[in-house]
Amino acid sequence: MTTQHTQKPIPVPDEASAPFFDGAKHGKLMMQRCKDCGAWHHPVRIYCDDCLSPHLAWQQASGKGEVYNFALMHYVYHPAWANEVPYNLTVVKLEEGPVMETNLVDCKNSDIKIGMPVEVAFVKLSDDVTVPKFRPAKKR
Ligand SMILES: [Zn+2]
């Protein structure tokens, strides 16, 4: 028996997403923001969804939001997750407006509630790639 395919796939940053991953490596949640109307965007795009401006710039987001929706995954779609089912797939609505697909960490699945406040928690996957996940927010 081989252990092939048991490592989790790691995102490969490209030119467009490099600022997002560079920020994550340094503990910053970076997102694009429209220079013309101020709307925030995630994931990466070429034009502002709100005003169609091509003038988007990278800016650090607060890293705060709330659980918008979630699902508990019981089926093993990839062998690397075999020991983690059921795991959560969570959609977080950020304070800035965009939603982000992620996982909640430092939280039992049974404690996840829609609307619960969360904050970003960076998880290092390799020397080159760190990804933002979210955990229950500390009392504010
Ligand atoms: Zn805009």
In this predicted model, what pLDDT tens digit does every residue of 55-107 receive, in sequence order?
A: 999 999 999 999 999 999 999 999 999 999 999 999 999 999 999 999 999 99
Each domain of the chain, given as residue ranges in start order, spans 18-136
Cβ(88)–Cβ(81) under 8 Å?
no
> Does the structure show a pLDDT above 80 at 115?
yes
Q: How far is the CA of 40 from the centre of ligand 1 (A)?
A: 8
| DSSP run (H or E) holding 70 | strand 64-73
Q: How far is the CA of 39 from the centre of ligand 1 (A)?
A: 5
Q: How far is the CA of 52 from the centre of ligand 1 (A)?
A: 6
Q: How far is the CA of 58 from the centre of ligand 1 (A)?
A: 13
Q: What is the pTM of this model?
A: 0.90
Q: How far is the CA of 63 from the centre of ligand 1 (A)?
A: 21
- Supply the pLDDT for residue 4: 54
In 10 A of CB 132, how many CB atoms?
21
